[in-house]
């Protein structure tokens, strides 16, 4: 997994995603986390900190020390293991493992994505759930997925290889613009379902968003819940 979140990206991450609601995510995850939660790619704790404030015992895994440093400015009470979420392990098992904000695509090979599912399953207690929020496959070679004052996000997609490059254009405080790009591998819900089955998980439910709106043909993303049998 490539580390594209170091340095200034980590320092500005929370501000860059401030427009994305957190409470619907926390409300969705809370009932699944009565036996503790493990967040893969915990980052700055955008989800973990408010979930912990609701009484959930949370542990995290993250690749980027700079992102975890931002988390440490908020709390020292959430343990985090530094490493790749495909292989890094922590002690104990959990009723919930989760991976949000389309982060599964940051694993750039199918093998790595399968390994992520297996690592998640290994940390789940029987009956526990693995939750992923992921975008659907882009509809064309170029897609503007975000457009606001100070930020533009563009996906460049090759359907033959499922290779996806996500470009982020951010306006800096001095009014100049910064471009960053990260290689990704896009996935379909059906492919993720197969990865889950390989890891001993079964699909329990799938929604169009965190508010549990129905998953439909016109949905742009999905929130999927797989359960350990």
Would 18 be classed as within a structural domain?
yes
Are residues 35 and 131 both part of a single domain?
Answer: yes
Are residues 82 and 162 both part of a single domain?
Answer: no
Would 33 be classed as within a structural domain?
yes
Contact in structure between 47 and 100 (CB atoms under 8 Å): yes
Residues lower than pLDDT 70 in the chain: 1-3
CA distance 200 to 182: 30
Are residues 163 and 217 both part of a single domain?
Answer: no
Are residues 195 and 82 both part of a single domain?
Answer: yes
Are residues 150 and 212 both part of a single domain?
Answer: no
Are residues 206 and 94 both part of a single domain?
Answer: yes
Would 2 be classed as within a structural domain?
no
| Residue-wise pLDDT tens digits, 136-186 | 987 778 888 788 888 898 888 998 889 988 888 888 889 899 888 888 999
Total domains present in the chain: 2
SS3 state at 167: strand
Would 155 be classed as within a structural domain?
yes
Residue with tokens 């009565």: 34
pLDDT of residue 3: 63
CA distance 27 to 29: 6
Would 88 be classed as within a structural domain?
yes
Nearest CA to 148 among 59, 19, 31, 53? 19
CA distance 150 to 153: 10
pLDDT of residue 66: 95
> Containing domain of residue 171, as a range?
142-180
């Amino acid at each position: 997994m490539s580390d594209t979140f170091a340095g200034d990206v980590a320092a500005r991450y929370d501000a860059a995603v401030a427009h994305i609601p957190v409470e619907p995510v926390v409300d969705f995850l809370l009932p699944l986390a009565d036996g503790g939660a493990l967040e893969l790619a915990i980052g700055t704790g955008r989800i973990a900190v408010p979930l912990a404030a609701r009484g959930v015992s949370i542990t995290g895994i993250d690749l980027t020390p700079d992102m975890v440093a931002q988390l440490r400015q908020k709390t020292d009470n959430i343990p985090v293991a530094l490493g790749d979420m495909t292989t890094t392990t922590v002690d104990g098992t959990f009723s919930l493992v989760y991976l949000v904000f389309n982060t599964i695509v940051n694993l750039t090979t199918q093998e790595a994505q399968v390994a992520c599912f297996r690592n998640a399953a290994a940390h789940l207690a029987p009956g526990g759930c693995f939750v992923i929020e992921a975008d659907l496959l882009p509809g064309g070679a170029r897609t503007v997925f975000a457009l606001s004052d100070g930020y533009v996000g563009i996906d460049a997609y090759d359907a033959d290889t499922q290779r996806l490059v996500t470009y982020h254009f951010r306006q800096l405080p001095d009014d100049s613009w910064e471009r960053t790009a990260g290689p990704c591998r896009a996935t379909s819900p059906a492919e993720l379902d197969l990865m889950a089955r390989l890891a001993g998980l079964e699909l329990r439910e799938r929604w169009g968003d965190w508010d549990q709106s129905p998953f439909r043909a016109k949905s742009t993303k999905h929130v999927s819940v797989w359960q350990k049998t």
